[in-house]
């Protein structure tokens, strides 16, 4: 403070100081208010962001839950029909059996299989096939009650789980209802299709004590329905239990026999009625069982077909036939040996290479091997069969269509297949002597074969009359008991030696 300051100066300085402090305070207050507003707005923005993030998290959580539920649904449901799939169906069956054990109830399991469904896909396309499956599923749903579970087990196979009180006959009612509803036409747009089915069923604890056994028994009952001509239902019973046990025992023995090479080829002659010479033989599997005696293929071949044994058996048969028949082919006593090929062989990726290697190993000419396929092959996978057979033909192997005239017989397919021979089914030879229609069909088949540049063989020739009539129809290559039954190697050897001197009857056929 200066000594010259007057009281007025001091007052003025104080006022200026107070003014500066007031201005500073006002600026501080304004800045604080501005920052507070900025923080308020920022907080509101953060609140909005937090709410938005929370909503997004909730939405995403919901989407994930929906996806999880959909994944669980798809994991347990057939995607086409939305019925329970095989995994879910099996789990439901096991749960039903556990419940039935506790409550002394019954579980009845039905298997439903559509008859010849493959023909629908082949003739009308997969869209029509899917429409049929959807309608079948809808009809099964309509039949089933609240505690009955329908399922699609794969392809054209369906199932129904029925939980009932003890001694219920509900499965019979369901089977009858299934047969009834499937007798009605299925509307597929411009098509009205009748799709029959076969049904088999078994019960817990009446027939089986657990889920795998129950499924096996129901499947065996279904097999009986199909064997009985399809379009029917079968209930598993004690007789079938004994039959199934016998089949299982025989299958185990068959597996051992195949591994030990006990299934041997027997050879049936194939004769040219023009030259009266044996032109070939067909190799047919025979099983000389140590205890049961001679077991014919009608009993053990289906067992082999149902398992993978048929592939192993077929390979062993081809190997043995090439080894045993090679001397006769080499010396000019036979033109070829004919061997049956199952559909399972053609589904094997290595079948062509394996047969080619077998031929090379035995120095067996490919042109002397004839592979026989059946018309049922056309109902499995035509494109795959066509590709496989074409590869055989490229090697020089002959291809014959067996049992022609009784099965699918699509002329379009036959024209596209790389065939060399048509074998007329034995039923026509059986009826040709007394049935003019059978004779007309044989003539038509011969004309068809000539148009397609295919050779013809008639099977099942048992009488001289049949042989003469077939020859007059233009079928000059024949096979049957008239010329010789299937015989083991030692007998076919003697037969070939005896055929060097023609019989009077054979001379008459060739002269005619």
Q: What is the pLDDT of residues 315-371, one digit of tens each?
A: 999 999 999 999 999 999 999 999 999 888 887 878 999 999 999 999 999 999 999
pLDDT at 69 (0 to 100): 72
* Nearest Cα to Cα of residue 270 among 343, 364, 372: 372
**pLDDT mean over 227-244:** 85
**pLDDT mean over 22-47:** 86
Evaluate if residue 407 carries a pLDDT over 70.
Answer: no
What phi and psi, each to the nearest 5 degrees, are found at residue 195? Answer: -120, 105
> Which stretches of 342-486 are DSSP H helices?
343-347, 351-361, 382-395, 411-416, 426-431, 436-451, 464-472
Evaluate if residue 3 carries a pLDDT over 70.
Answer: no
The DSSP bridge partners found for residue 77 are 84
Contacts with 15 (C-beta within 8 Å, 6 or more apart), sequence order = none
pLDDT at 2 (0 to 100): 52
* Structure confidence by residue, pLDDT tens digits, 72-129: 666 788 889 999 999 899 999 999 999 999 999 999 999 999 988 888 887 788 889 9
Helix (H, G, I), strand (E, B) or coil at 189: coil
Evaluate if residue 512 carries a pLDDT over 50.
Answer: no
pLDDT at 501 (0 to 100): 56
Evaluate if residue 8 carries a pLDDT over 90.
Answer: no
Mean pLDDT of the chain: 87
Instruction: Compute the distance between CA of residue 206 and CA of residue 165 in angstroms, rounded to an integer.
Output: 12
Evaluate if residue 415 carries a pLDDT over 70.
Answer: yes
> Which stretches of 307-381 are DSSP H helices?
309-330, 343-347, 351-361
* Nearest Cα to Cα of residue 282 among 317, 332, 327, 331: 317
pLDDT at 4 (0 to 100): 67
Evaluate if residue 409 carries a pLDDT over 90.
Answer: no
Evaluate if residue 295 carries a pLDDT over 60.
Answer: yes
**pLDDT mean over 58-68:** 80
pLDDT at 447 (0 to 100): 93
Query: If pLDDT is split at 50, 70 and 90, which confidence band does 408 have?
Result: low
* Structure confidence by residue, pLDDT tens digits, 162-208: 999 988 899 999 999 999 999 899 988 778 888 999 999 999 999 99
Evaluate if residue 436 carries a pLDDT over 50.
Answer: yes
pLDDT at 273 (0 to 100): 93
pLDDT at 410 (0 to 100): 60
**pLDDT mean over 254-280:** 92
More confident residue, 298 or 330: 330
Is residue 110 within 8 A of residue 162, CB to CB? The reply is: yes
Rg over alpha carbons for the chain, rounded to the nearest Å, is 40
pLDDT at 511 (0 to 100): 46
pLDDT at 378 (0 to 100): 60
Is residue 476 within 8 A of residue 274, CB to CB? The reply is: yes
Instruction: Compute the distance between CA of residue 438 and CA of residue 485 in angstroms, rounded to an integer.
Output: 24
- DSSP designation for 109: E
Evaluate if residue 150 carries a pLDDT over 50.
Answer: yes
Kindly give the pairing relationship between strand 197-204 and strand 191-193. Answer: unpaired
Query: If pLDDT is split at 50, 70 and 90, which confidence band does 379 have?
Result: low
Query: If pLDDT is split at 50, 70 and 90, which confidence band does 376 have?
Result: low
**pLDDT mean over 385-392:** 90
pTM of the predicted protein model: 0.65
> Peptide bond before 508: cis, by omega within 30 degrees of 0?
no
> Which stretches of 182-284 are DSSP H helices?
211-227, 238-260
pLDDT at 374 (0 to 100): 83
The DSSP bridge partners found for residue 48 are none
How many CA atoms within 13 Å lie on the side-chain side of 298? Answer: 1
Q: Which two tokens stand for residue 493?
A: 């050897």
What is the number of residues in the chain?
512
Look at the block and give the residue holding tokens 């019979």: 172
Query: If pLDDT is split at 50, 70 and 90, which confidence band does 213 have?
Result: very high
* Structure confidence by residue, pLDDT tens digits, 456-486: 999 999 999 999 999 999 999 999 999 999 9
Percent of the chain with pLDDT over 70: 93
């Amino acid at each position: 403070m200066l000594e010259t300051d007057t009281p007025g100066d001091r007052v003025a300085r104080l006022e200026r100081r107070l003014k500066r402090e007031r201005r500073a305070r006002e600026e501080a207050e304004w800045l604080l208010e501005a920052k507070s507003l900025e923080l308020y707005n920022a907080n509101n923005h953060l609140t909005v962001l937090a709410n938005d993030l929370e909503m997004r998290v909730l939405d995403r959580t919901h989407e994930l839950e929906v996806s999880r539920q959909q994944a669980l649904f798809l994991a347990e449901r057939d995607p086409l029909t939305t019925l329970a799939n095989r995994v879910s169906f099996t789990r439901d069956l096991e749960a039903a059996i556990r419940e039935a054990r506790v409550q002394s109830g019954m579980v009845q399991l039905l298997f439903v299989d559509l008859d010849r469904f493959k023909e629908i896909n082949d003739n009308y396309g997969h869209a029509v096939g899917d429409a049929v499956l959807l309608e079948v599923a809808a009809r099964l749903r309509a039949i089933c009650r609240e505690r009955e579970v329908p399922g699609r087990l794969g392809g054209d196979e369906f199932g129904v789980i029925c939980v009932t009180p003890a001694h219920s006959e509900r499965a019979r009612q369901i089977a009858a209802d299934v047969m009834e509803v499937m007798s009605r036409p299925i509307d597929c747009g411009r098509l009205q299709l009748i799709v029959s089915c076969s049904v088999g069923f078994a019960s817990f604890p009446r027939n089986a004590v657990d889920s795998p056994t129950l499924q096996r028994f129901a499947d065996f009952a279904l097999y009986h329905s199909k064997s009985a001509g399809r379009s029917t239902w079968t209930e598993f019973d004690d007789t079938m239990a004994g039959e199934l046990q016998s089949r299982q025992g025989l299958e185990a023995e068959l597996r051992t026999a195949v591994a030990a090479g006990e299934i041997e080829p027997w050879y049936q002659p194939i004769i040219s009625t023009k030259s009266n010479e044996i032109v070939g033989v067909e190799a047919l599997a025979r099983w000389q069982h140590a205890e049961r005696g001679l077991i014919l293929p009608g009993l053990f071949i289906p067992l082999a077909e149902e398992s993978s044994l048929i592939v192993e058996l077929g390979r062993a048969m081809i190997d043995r036939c090439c080894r045993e028949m090679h001397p006769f082919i080499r010396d000019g006593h036979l033109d070829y040996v004919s061997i049956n090929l199952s559909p399972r062989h053609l589904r094997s990726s290595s079948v062509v290479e394996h047969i080619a290697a077998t031929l090379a190993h035995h120095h067996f000419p490919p042109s002397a091997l004839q592979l026989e396929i059946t018309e049922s092959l056309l109902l499995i996978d035509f494109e795959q069969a066509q590709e496989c057979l074409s590869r055989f033909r490229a090697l020089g192997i002959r291809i014959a269509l067996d049992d022609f005239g009784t099965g699918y017989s699509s002329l379009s397919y036959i024209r596209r297949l790389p065939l060399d021979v048509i074998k007329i089914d034995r039923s026509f030879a059986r009826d040709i002597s007394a049935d003019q229609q059978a004779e007309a069909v044989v003539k038509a088949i011969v004309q068809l074969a000539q148009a397609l540049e295919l050779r013809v063989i008639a099977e099942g020739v048992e009488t001289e009359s049949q042989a003469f009539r077939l020859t007059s129809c233009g079928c000059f290559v024949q096979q049957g008991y008239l010329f010789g039954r299937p015989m083991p190697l030692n007998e076919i050897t003697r037969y070939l030696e005896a055929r060097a001197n023609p019989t009077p009857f054979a001379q008459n056929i060739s002269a005619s």
